[in-house]
Amino acid sequence: MFLIIDNTKNLSKAYMTPLLLNVLDKLYVKYKVLSKLKDVVDIIENEKKYKIDGIIISGGPFCLSEGPPSQNNKSLKVLEHFTETPILGICFGFQLMAYYYGGKIERMDKEKTNVSTVNIKRSDSVLFRNNTDKVVVYQSHKDYVAEIPDKFIITSVDKYDGTVQSIESNELLRYSVQFHPEGLEHSVFVLKNFVDFSCSII
């Protein structure tokens, strides 16, 4: 089973995260959506009842450039507790993961909402394995990761402005992307690669 940490303000009115769930449905992935802090706390307290293969931290409207997250942030609790479980961060989840491990987040001069191309930098990447050196993606964000944390490697960058688009740490079992892999058919393989990798860990 996979845990989906929902960072939308209202999942029923959100756009990207429902697309993410739709992709997981098509991949026949069993998952549980956690939208509130108490949902995460309940999972942690009753962890032995579940076989958690992996976790996905969704995007959302929050901006770390406007201030640090609450100490009781549900996504931070997940990063802190599930140290031996693969976790994928998407958009805000990507920024939050970078922040948690010591990276630097800054505000963009202008919000980015467009289809773009990212250049894959690592052939040994978990998320990009068996794919070409470029992929078309959908981006929608106001912040960006200016400095990546220790123990992470950059696995892709934006073709046009060079901003970091994905980082990975096999040591920490942490993987994340700035773009929305659920947003375009071209990039859905990123989610499948994460699911396959997570399920392959014994």
In this structure, what CATH number is given to the domain that contains residue 123?
3.40.50.880
Residue 9 is given by DSSP the state S
- List of E strands, the chain: 2-5, 31-34, 54-57, 87-90, 104-120, 134-147, 153-158, 164-169, 174-177
Tell whether the model's pLDDT for residue 157 goes beyond 90: yes
Closest CA to 137 of 94, 169, 76: 94
With beta carbons less than 8 A apart as the criterion, state whether 197 and 145 touch. no
Query: How many folded domains does the chain comprise?
Result: 1
Mean pLDDT of 111-135: 88
Q: How many angstroms separate the CA atoms of 7 and 166, rounded?
A: 19
Q: Which of 80, 84, 141, 180 is catalytic?
A: 180
Q: What is the largest CA-CA distance in the chain?
A: 46
Tell whether the model's pLDDT for residue 13 goes beyond 70: yes
Tell me: the pLDDT tens digits for 168-188?
Answer: 999 999 999 999 999 998 899
Mean pLDDT of 19-28: 95
Active site residue 180: yes
Mean pLDDT of 112-133: 89
Q: What is the domain range of residue 30?
A: 2-200
Strands 164-169 and 54-57: unpaired
Average pLDDT, the chain: 92
Mean pLDDT of 120-135: 90
pTM of the predicted protein model:
0.94
Mean pLDDT of 133-145: 90
pLDDT for the residue numbered 81: 95
Q: Which of 45, 84, 91, 186 is catalytic?
A: 91
Tell me: the pLDDT tens digits for 92-106?
Answer: 999 999 999 999 999
pLDDT for the residue numbered 113: 77
Who has greater pLDDT, 29 or 114? 29
pLDDT for the residue numbered 64: 86
Helices assigned H by DSSP within the chain: 16-26, 37-45, 74-81, 92-100, 189-200
Tell me: the pLDDT tens digits for 161-173?
Answer: 999 999 999 999 9
Q: Which of 45, 182, 185, 199 is catalytic?
A: 182
pLDDT band at 60 (very low <50, low <70, confident <90, very high): confident
